[in-house]
Structure 1
Amino acid sequence: MIKTFIIHVSKGYEERRKHIDSHLPSRGINEYEYMLRGDIDDLSDAVRHEFFGSKLSLAEKSCFYKHYLVMKEAVEQNIEQVLVLEDDALLVGSFTQDFSLILSELEGKSNYFANIEEASNSVPLSVRKSNQYLYPCKVNKLCGGYVFDLVFAKKMVEYIESQQIDSPIDGLIGDKIDELQFNLYWVHPPVVKQGSKVGMFESQLSGRTSGLYATVRSWFKEGYRTHIRSHVSKKQKALFENVTKY
């Protein structure tokens, strides 16, 4: 199985860990590693004030740093391919089969970041092709679930360590596609949702709450963006046109 890391805060998020430890095995993932380093309390003054600028909250800095540490781990251990999930991940029932097909489509490719999450936007109907999972795109989604290779990890780690960071991890990845020259893919159909986006968990980053109201609100808001706007917006379709290959 592909090397798998879970982005997780070690204190105060015990319910999320219980969720992962029961949910992932039910979806065929029995071996995974929690990234526990990088909690807010663990961030040194140098990391808080020199590694990062002043625009991000402490929660955003911690989240970014954990994702960075996973990429750093891949570089240091020379891991060729990595799956990353945040600790509120909800995997589709057919995850094992779908993910196997995604990995098969990634075979022979290099220098990539593949976003496997359903997050507000989707690949337009006019772009989709039968039996195709990967779609080159000009922007990133959120970082609740993704796959990257070692070539991408080396580029991103080198860049991050040369800059003072002032962007969330998902935004930075999307902003640096052309500068760092890597291939970014959206996967359709997506195979991961974030539980915090559907009201299952609260989110310190976004301010989302859990419960019935949050679930219904998310269903309408995210449903419109995903299932209607994504298919009628010319701007959305343009994200998948004339994408540079690296």
Structure 2
Amino acid sequence: MAERNVMLVLHDVAPETWNDYRPFVEAVDALGNIPMTLLVVPDFHHRNSIDKDPAFIQLMDQRLTRGDELALHGYFHCDDASSPSTPRDWFMRRVYTWEGEFYTLNQAQARERLNHGMALFQRFGWPLHGFVAPAWLMSEGTRRALSETPLRYTSDPQHFYLLPDHTRIDAPGLVWSARSPWRRGMSWLFSEQAARRHRKAPLLRLGLHPVDMRHDFSRRYWLDLLKRLMNEGRVPINKINWLNRHYLHERQAA
């Protein structure tokens, strides 16, 4: 039987969110060598510039040494564009999320923020292969800008997209909405259903957010689910290593 993998992805990684993640990451580290993909925000909500936090930079260096991958997750992770002008935009930017930073950007604006983020990674000596838009929302301008970069992939909740042509790859994922008790209860139900539905899928992604870590119920669920999936034979892997193994090396050879 071909190897089945599980992928642990931590969203919104920044100096102010790491304390939320710390106990969970320590518990995962205690399980053994489990590589993760950390989605790093260069300046979270305009108040958390990582280049002014040497301790955080050192921490990310240590995570890389352990085998984690760092990916670029927006730049500010907040929607600072002008007010919505249509009902659809109002819903997407004020009901669905307030953090869709790349939802309204034109190609030039997206290119500028991507370039700033890539330059930051380069300055710290952090390998960079992928970009994930905050709330997975991307304008057409952002997609075109991504195609101009040396980045190798982006993703949404259920797919990877190989760059530069945005070739789609099925990659089922689980994610919670943990801000209230009823949301956590529904998230548990949907996640259990999805885990059963995708039991034989070659890859299952677990997408965690800082708010998940602030509630014992959701934090314990993610750790218990990871253990269960590993006991069922799934092998932990980060994004770029999985893509290299199954897709990117073949593309380069062709």
Pick the TM interval, shorter chain: 0.3 to 0.5
Query: By percentage of residues, which structure has more helix?
Result: 2
